[in-house]
Each structure stands twice: as C-alpha cells, then as structure tokens.
Amino acid sequence: MDRVKFRTQILNRHLHRPSLSSPSSSIEPSICLQYSPPELAETSQFDTRSMRELMDNHNFADRDWLYGLMIQNKLFCSKERGGKLFVSPDYNQSMEQQREMTMKRIGYLLDCGVFEGWLTGKGVESELRKFSFLEVIGMFDHSLAIKIGVHFFLWGGAVQFFGTKRHHEKWLKDTENYKVKGCFAMTELGHGSNVRGIETITTYDSNTGEFVINTPCESAQKYWIGGAANHATHTIVFSQLNIDGKNQGVHAFIAQIRDSDGNVCPNIRISDCGHKIGLNGVDNGRIWFDNVRIPRENLLNSVADVSLDGKYLSAITDPDQRFAAFLAPLTSGRVTIAAAAIYSSKISLAIAIRYSLTRRAFSVSPNGPEVLLLDYPSHQRRLLPLLAKTYAMSFAENYLKMLYVKRTPELIKTIHVVSSAFKATLTWHNMRTLQECREACGGQGLKTENRVGHLKSEYDVQSTFEGDNNVLMQQVSKALLAEYVAAKKRNKPFNGLGLDHMNKSCPVIPSKPTSSTLRSVEFQTNIFCLRERDLLNRFAAEVSQHQGQGESKEHALIVSYQLAEDLGRAFSDRAILQTILEAETTLSAGPLKNILGLLRSMYTLITLEEDAAFLRYGYLSTDTAAAVRKEVAKLCSELRPHALALVSSFGIPDAFLSPIAFNWVDANSWSSVQD
C-alpha cells in the first residue's frame, strides 16, 4: 500500500468513527496523537537572524555554504525521515568503515576547496574562516572535526609555529593539499598532562648530522595519536633532547612514519589503540621509535636549534621560559574544543526543546488535553537554564576566539589562562547538557538517529584531551596566584587577567535582595567579583601558610587543590559574565537586548544556585539563596515563550538536527518502515 493511500485511510477513520458493536459499551475510539509544528503556536518576539549573527559572530555566508555542501552530498549519509532530509554519520558501521568514511569526506571537502588557505592564508579573516568551517564540520561529526583538527591545528600548527621558513616552505602547502598527512605525537602511555615528564629520547649524531629518536621503555610509547593507526605519513615527535649527555628538555621534531604507499617506515612500530566509546572515525594509534634517524633540519627550531657540529643554541636561556615558549602555540586546540562544546550543546538543546514543544504527556484535569512537556515547570527547569548558559558561553567562546586570532606576544599568558578556564568550563557544561537533553527526550533520546544520546559518547573525551579539566583549573589558579603575589610584591594595582576589580573596595551584597536587585547588572557583577577576590585571598593565604610550615611551594599548591578548583571556576564564571555583558552593551534598547538580559540573569542566578561555594564561604545567606531559587523559577516561565526562537537563532539547518525535532509521528510511522 503506498503512503498516500495509507494516510488517506487513517484520516478517513478519524473523520468517520466506526459504530460500536454494543450500544451500552463505555469504550469509545480516541483520536490518534497528531504532530503540530511548534511554529503554529510559538511566535518570535525578537529578530532571530540578528541573534544568530550576534552569536555566530563571523563568516555567516561561509557557514551556510558549507552546510549546503554537506547536505547535498550522499557521503554525509542523507536520509529522509518524516518527510524531511537529515544528515548524520552512520554509527552502526564498524570502526574500520567509520575511519574510511572520514577519509572520503575529507577528500570531498578538499576537492570543494574547503581547506584552501588553512595554513598558507594570512591574517585574521583567514583564521576566522578556518574556525567557522571546523565548527560546521564538528556539528556533523566530531570524528571528522578531530581528524581534520589533528592534521591542520596540531601537525600543521606545530610546523607553522614551532618551525621556521625552511619548514614552512617544505611542509605547509603539502599539508594543506593532503599530500602529507600529519599527526601529533606528544602523549605517551606514561605521561599525558605532564609533558615535561615524557620519556622519548632524541640524541644528536654529529658524525652524520642526524637526530636519533628512541622509545627507551614501554611507558614511552606514543599513545592516543590521532591519525597514526592508519593514515598519517608524518608526525611531530615531542621528545627529550639529549646533547653531549645533557638533557635540554622537550623539543619537537618531524619524523616520517609511512611512505607514500602507506607502508610503515623502517624502525617504526605502529599499533592501533582499538575501539573507543566514541570518535571511532579517528584512527588513534601507538608509535614506537627504534633508532629512527632524521635530518638535523627536522628539528622545529623557532625556539632552539642545534648546529651542524652539535652545539645547542637558544636565545632563551631559562629552561622554564623555553618550555613555556614551546607550548604557547598549542592553545588553538583548547580554542577549538571550547567551540565544539558549545555547538554540540546547541544541537542537543535545539532537538530537546523542539521535541518538548510538540510532545505531550498527562493532563492536569479529568478528560483534559495532555500538556506539552515544556509547559511543565519542572521541564522548563531542566532545559532553559542550560539554554541560558549555552548563550552566555557562546559569547565567551567568541571572545576567546578573537583573543586568539588577534594574539600578540603580550597576550600569550592571558590566552593560556582564559583558554584553560573556558575549555574546562565549557566542556563540563556540554557533558551535563547532553545528559539532560538525552533524559528530556525520554526513550527517543536513546536512538542513534536522534543524535542527543550518541553525542554524549562522541564528546565525552573533551574533558580529557588538550589537558584534563581539573588540571587546567589548577593551572588557572596558579596563574592568578602569580598575579596576586606580583601585585603585592610591587605594591601596585592589579593589571591583567581581568583582576582589576581587586583594586576596588570589596563589594557589599544586600542581605535581602529584591527580584529587581537579583536581576541587576550591579548585583550580578558584584557577587561574582566578591567570590573571585575572596577565593584568591584565601588561596594565597593557604599556600603561604603551608610554605611557612616548611613545605615547598609545589606541595603547598597541591594540598590547596580544593580552593584552587573553586577559584578556577570563579575566574571562569566571572569572565563569561563579562562577555555576555559586553554583547548587551553593543545593542540598542529593544527586544534583542531585553532577551539577552533575561538570559544573562538566568546564567548568573543558576550559577549562584548550583555552586556550593556561594553558601560555603558565606557570599550568600540561606534566605538569599532561597530567593535566588525562586527567581530562577520565574525566569524559566519568562523564557518559556521565547524557547523556540532562541533555539532557532542557533542557525543550525534542520538537516543537522534529528527526526524528533520535527514530525516524530511520521518519522516513526509504519510507512517510514516500508520506505
């Protein structure tokens, strides 16, 4: 039976109920649930296009072009469900098939000119175009984005930033064209976050003018190296450099690991890391080096070099500063991870909120109509605070991105601290959002085709790679402590990392704030600054106390980890608030500014409610905490009418969402099974 006839019969049965066999029977036929597009009932009170431009911030036309490019090609697994076309990876494929599809998609994007200028282009516009394309690619498939990111941002970025002209001329264009396929061998079995502790050893042979790379023990094997298992031809090797028996610290080298035919090179051993809980489209591998000889020119020498006769040369004499200079360019990874976290949060929220605007459950009166999920206050409380946080963090991610693309040597420290804080905060937020959206979609959230469930496993790794989130937060606090100590020692005002509020008098928080006070910029700024300054003072005092008892500074920092993590979150939350406030100030009075004000208040107050530090250290009284909770509930009801418009403002094409975001009845009908 074709689909038209089938639907005609269903409608006919609805219009002409069959007579009951027994007049006395109390059983009556009921009308089946029908899908009704939320657009019929929900209206937008602000310009969604303007909101999208405010959030995406740059390269709107480029993003839309790439969306279309992917939707139109069958490589991106387009499939019709419920009368709409959707694209998403086929996660039912084997690991090997997913890896093969990843490479085919890269080949297609390459042929379409997507990667043009990613390494050879110059200037802010070129970098922003690259970021926008990677964000779009990541919304389709995290594996595809990571595979591309490893090649361009890690391998290519290392050549670009660690190398000099000779490396640029030899490698960048071939990398951009995928004649060279690169990977990035930093992490080892025994060392991940502690890069200084890696055990791979490289020595210089002055007789031949070559470096010799060795894996001296099993814990030194390079581990989790994306691209290494199947496809990479070359890698950046991070290794201890030994010159005349003296360890000069960690340096980066280029080594070939496969020939042009894909054969593993001599003295190289490679093994697959195996199946993972997500990202199976990325071929993570392990690498061992057995006296691998490379030319002297393959040392990436922007920071240090070795002369032909074996002399170590560097303008930076201090090993700590030299190590910091090596790692400084790697912040791009944290920038892209933070962006990916926000865009995957947008996808899951768009799906879950659209579903909640069409799915009904229970009635509040006998024989009354069932209620839309999002009309339940409890459902609003689950999703709308996460929506507000995602908005606030979108502006934070834009700020970080612009900070990075307009970087100067003076901003390196700031970029490191902000990227560490935002990478941790945004990825933690993303994992919570994905989990809540999965649950909010009920059983439908378990289906791979509906995306929200599987996104959890695909994005789970974000909290680990490019730095464990807890370690990053401790790095943030360590940097803030250094600023604190320096300011006190110089007896000068704080200047940097947004700590200038420390120069002002301590904010006073009203004991019984009204609703308007809780929503005011002054209160919200003050409470966040109060928390940060107090925690910084406490952290400095605790570290100083431990040192006064004879403990080393390093040990004092370690045992003060609880304050360090609280301080890192305080810094991040305050910085995020500043970015949404800055976005508000660019707008003239009107609906767009009003809705941003609601989102900013929700972001701030839900943070006050969720972070125990506000009660733990006495920044809020229990009465004020109760008032905050009531205000969050009010904000939920005020944001409810804007829910559809807010997720529509993400600008994500329907095809990148999922069937339950639209006509989930038709998508699950018998006719869809037959199709």
DSSP character for 264? B
Token pair of 326, please? Answer: 């090596």
Out of 127, 199, 466, 532, pick the active-site residue: 466
Closest by CA position to 416, among listed 352, 466, 365: 466
| DSSP β-bridge partners for residue 214 | 201
Q: How far is CA 252 from CA 158, 189, 284, 334, 385, in A?
A: 8, 18, 20, 19, 44
563, amino acid identity: L
Q: Residue 188 belongs to what H/E stretch?
A: none
Residue 150 near residue 227, CB atoms below 8 Å = yes
CA atoms within 13 A on the CB side of 108: 17
The CB density around residue 615, as the number of other CB atoms within 10 Å, is 15
Spatial separation of the C-alpha atoms in residues 381 and 390, rounded to whole Å = 15
Q: What angle do CA 572, 576, 577 make, to 5 degrees?
A: 120
631, amino acid identity: E
Spatial separation of the C-alpha atoms in residues 616 and 633, rounded to whole Å = 23
Spatial separation of the C-alpha atoms in residues 388 and 501, rounded to whole Å = 25
**Active-site residue flag, 410:** no
Token pair of 631, please? Answer: 């205000």
User: Is 226 annotated as ligand-binding?
Assistant: yes
Query: What residues have CB less than 8 Å from 202, skipping those under 6 apart?
Result: 211, 212, 213, 214, 237, 239, 240, 241, 242, 251, 253
Spatial separation of the C-alpha atoms in residues 123 and 126, rounded to whole Å = 6
User: Is 187 annotated as ligand-binding?
Assistant: yes
Closest by CA position to 180, among listed 260, 105, 86, 106: 260
Spatial separation of the C-alpha atoms in residues 549 and 560, rounded to whole Å = 14
Residue for token pair 């959707």: 86
Spatial separation of the C-alpha atoms in residues 38 and 52, rounded to whole Å = 19
Known catalytic residues are 466
- Residues in binding site for FAD: 187, 226
- Residues in binding site: 187, 226
